[in-house]
Amino acid sequence: MFRYICSMVTTLTIKQAERISKALGDPYRLKIMEIVSGQNNFIQCCDLLSGFDLAQSTMSHHLKQLVDAELLISEKDGRNLKFIVNKDVCQAYKEYINSFLG
């Protein structure tokens, strides 16, 4: 079983913040984050797909963008993937944005 876990993030680089901002710049990805964050545990890819009127390949693209930005953690479960929010990265992004507010 493969599990990708990002190490504890305390501060983001500008490049990391840019990647996260781009990933969140799509309404479908925002909705995916909303759904996944509402779960206490991992959510299966097929369960996510059922909530959208998107092709499987399009959903895979959106999920890949969120995983590449380290906003989601993916885990292989047999032939399927399941996802959970990477709370450390989300917290670091929140702190990055809040740093502009003084």
Q: What is the pLDDT of residues 23-68, one digit of tens each?
A: 999 999 999 999 999 998 999 998 998 889 999 999 999 999 999 9
Here the CATH number for the domain that contains residue 83 is 1.10.10.10
Banded pLDDT at 17 (limits 50, 70, 90): very high
Residue 48 in domain: yes
- Angstrom CA distances, 29 to 7, 12, 23, 62, stand at 23, 20, 7, 6
Q: What is the pLDDT of residues 85-94, one digit of tens each?
A: 999 999 999 9
- The structure's pTM equals 0.86
Report pLDDT for 50.
Answer: 87
- Into how many domains does the chain fold? 1
Relative to beta strand 43-44, strand 72-77 is: unpaired
Domain that holds residue 48: 14-98
Residue 9 in domain: no
